[in-house]
Structure formats: C-alpha cells, structure tokens
C-alpha cells in the first residue's frame, strides 16, 4: 500500500493535540488541515503542528481531505458527521459518535448512499493489553467467561478540565463519556449485549469548578453521575458495571472476567497498555513476556499511547477494501448499550438491546505492526 489518505481535524479543543501529535506513528494517513468554529483556535493548532488552518466549510470542500475527524462536543457529533458525509467524505468521530440509535441509523443510511465510511473512537481496545486479554479468551485459557465486574469511579472532571460543563449534561456523564472505553472492550472480548438493567442517581445537583480559569464557578448537573448496571451478553456472561463521578477513592479493579477455569484481570480500558493477570483455577500464573505487541510499548513518557490507531485502521480498511475495526455497527451497538443503561435507570426496568454486531477482528502483534509507519 503506497497511497496516503488526507486527514482533516474538525474541532481544535484539548483532544485535537493528541490526534495531531500521534498520527505520524501510523502509515496511510496524513493530517493536513484543521478547522474550528473558533477560527483562532484552528489557527493556533495549525501553527503548533505545521498544518493548514481552514474554515469549517473550507475543510469540508478541500480536495486533499479524504477523512474528517470529528472532535466537536458530543451533542454536536451527529449533525457534524452528517455534514461531513453529505460533503462526500469519510468521517471518524470521537466518542460517542451519536447519542441515540436513531441518529446512528441515519448516519448509516447516508454513508451507504454516499459510499463512505463512518468510524468512531475509542480505539484503546486495540491496545496490546486488551488484545492479549482477547487472545487469552479466544484460546480458552480461562474457559468460558460466565461473569465479571467493571468499575470506573472518580470524583469527576471539574478539578482538571478548563471547561467541564458538557461532562455533566446529556451526552456526557460517566456512562456516555467513559462508558465507551469499557463497553467497547467488553463487546470486543465477549461479543454483543442482549439486555441491561440499571439504577442511576446524581450525587449533587451542581458541581464547583476547581480548575483554572473558572475556579469557583458552579455548573448544573443534568445527567446521572452514579450508575450501577448489569449487562447480560448473548454469550451468557453477566457483567456488573459501576460508573461514578461521586467517588473519591475505591479499591476495585478496573475489569475482572471470571471464567470456568480461571480469572482474567484486565487493566483500565481507557489506556492501551497495563498489566494483564491470569489465574488457572485459583492460582496466578506468569504470562509476562508471552505477548510482544507493539501497542504495549511505552511511547508517551511511561504510557503506551497509540491514539489514532482506529483511524489508521479505518484508512487502511478503505484502501484495502476490508472492514475496519472501529466500525459504525460496532460503535452503534456500544451506544445502544449505553443509552439502554440510562433508560433502564430512568424506567426501573430491564431493557432489551435493539442492535447487534460482530466482534471486531482481533489485532494481533503482526497486524498491529502493519498499521505503524
């Protein structure tokens, strides 16, 4: 493969720097331009990363841009991605790429009509640690997974983010903001979800910002901030999932999966790396050194950080005419699960999941190396 697809970044906030900084790690993609409704923000990012600053309209019309990366706020993702597709370009969105199944189905209709693709973060499940967990499950190392637990709990975002408002409004919250990492990893490990049940609450009606430059400002809370859910998978596995921004400290593991012949301890799906631990029956076994995956190697200070891997896989999928792993169908199923959890919390009832998907193809060490420049 020699062709390179041109990438345009739409939305120049905090997360844009990571895409711009890490995209040169991968072959088949080149970030060429950026845009934002705040043109000063686009110009600043363009200067920082030696890109071309465009207006939003200019980016959508640019002949050298094949894929637009949608980094706008969550409640704008659908409308922006729709405009990108209607402009005849592929779109890769930050998570969650839509806020309802209906929005996702509309994007699927437009993408099919236009002959274009939709992809969505997160791509952390492509990390070496999570692909090792996938390999162990697929090779029956711990037997059939029957149950498990997931915990993602913290005090919230208002202590570090300069503009945390959207985290606490519909489209945010610990389910739609952090849930994509956890649910995506569960689905790639265990397959699609059949039904969910949940309880939801708000720890406080408002939050006080303690970051700069808005220290002391109070913001309203318009979405649940503590959610306890159970996910039943078509495979038969039952996973307890707790997500909260009302917890100062806890002692739970990020993810534990219980098989008939052992247990898998899976690291935080918010990151590409981390230690995977496994037991045979009740005793831990040493699996260190058995998995030499390129996306396990520390490349960002002490962390493995390969953000844009999903974008690069989508670009190569387009060029090679094969499915990409962070696909619309996969991401839409994850959205369906997350919105069903919130609906169950409101209604106090089990919610059947309307969509399904195939597990993304595993990304073994050789396939991962093939994404790198």
CA distance 273 to 55: 36
User: At CB < 8 A and 24+ separation, what contacts does 97-101 make?
Assistant: 97/70, 97/121, 97/328, 97/331, 97/335, 98/332, 98/335, 99/74, 99/75, 99/170, 99/171, 99/176, 99/335, 99/339, 100/335, 100/339, 101/332, 101/335, 101/336, 101/339, 101/354, 101/355
pLDDT digits (tens, 9 = 90+) for 162-211: 889 989 998 889 999 999 999 999 999 999 999 999 999 999 999 999 99
- The reported pLDDT for the residue numbered 2 is 61
Regions in the chain scoring below 70 on pLDDT: 1-2
CA distance 121 to 103: 16
CA distance 124 to 72: 19
List, in sequence order, the alpha helices (H) in the chain.
16-22, 39-49, 56-61, 77-86, 101-114, 128-138, 173-190, 309-320, 328-347, 365-371
- The reported pLDDT for the residue numbered 286 is 87
With beta carbons less than 8 A apart as the criterion, state whether 40 and 13 touch.
no
Q: What is the pTM of this model?
A: 0.95
pLDDT digits (tens, 9 = 90+) for 225-284: 999 999 999 999 999 999 999 999 999 999 999 999 999 999 999 999 999 999 999 999
- In the block, which residue shows the tokens 């699996």? 287
Phi, psi of 246 (to 5 degrees): -125, 25
Picking from 119, 247, 109, 233, the residue whose alpha carbon sits closest to that of residue 183 is 233
Measured torsion, CA atoms of residues 68, 73, 77, 80, in degrees rounded to the nearest 10: -60
With beta carbons less than 8 A apart as the criterion, state whether 125 and 135 touch.
no
């Amino acid at each position: 493969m020699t062709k390179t697809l041109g990438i345009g970044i739409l939305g120049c906030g905090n997360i844009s720097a990571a895409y711009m900084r890490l995209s040169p790690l991968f072959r088949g993609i080149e970030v060429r331009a950026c845009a934002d409704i705040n043109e000063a923000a686009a110009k600043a990012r363009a200067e920082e990363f030696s890109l071309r600053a465009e207006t939003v309209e200019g980016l959508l019309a640019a002949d050298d841009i094949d894929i637009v990366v949608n980094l706008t706020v969550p409640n704008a993702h659908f409308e922006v991605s729709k405009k990108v597709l209607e402009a005849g370009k592929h779109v890769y969105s930050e998570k969650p790429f839509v806020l309802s199944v209906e929005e996702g189905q509309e994007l699927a209709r437009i993408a099919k009509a236009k002959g274009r693709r939709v992809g969505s973060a997160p791509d952390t499940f492509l990390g070496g640690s999570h692909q090792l967990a996938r390999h162990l499950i697929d090779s029956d190392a711990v037997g059939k997974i029957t149950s498990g637990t997931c915990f993602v709990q913290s005090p919230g975002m208002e202590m570090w983010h300069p503009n945390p408002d959207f985290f606490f409004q519909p489209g945010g919250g610990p389910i739609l903001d952090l849930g994509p990492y956890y649910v995506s990893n569960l689905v790639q490990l265990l397959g699609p979800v059949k039904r969910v049940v949940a309880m939801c609450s708000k720890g406080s009606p408002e939050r006080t910002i303690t970051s700069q430059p808005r220290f002391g400002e109070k913001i309203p809370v318009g979405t649940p901030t503590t959610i306890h859910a159970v996910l039943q998978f078509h495979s038969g596995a039952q996973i307890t999932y707790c997500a909260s921004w009302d917890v100062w400290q806890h002692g739970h593991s990020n993810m534990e999966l219980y098989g008939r012949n052992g247990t898998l301890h899976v690291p935080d799906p918010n990151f590409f790396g981390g230690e995977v631990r496994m037991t045979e029956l009740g005793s831990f076994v040493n699996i260190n050194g058995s998995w030499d995956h390129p996306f396990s190697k520390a490349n960002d200070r002490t962390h493995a950080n390969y953000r844009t891997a999903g974008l690069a896989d989508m670009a190569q999928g387009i060029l090679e005419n094969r499915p990409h792993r962070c696909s619309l169908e996969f991401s839409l199923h994850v959205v369906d699960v997350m919105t069903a959890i919130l609906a169950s919390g409101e209604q106090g009832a089990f919610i059947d999941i309307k969509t399904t998907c195939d597990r993304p193809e595993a990304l073994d060490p050789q396939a991962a190396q093939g994404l790198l420049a």
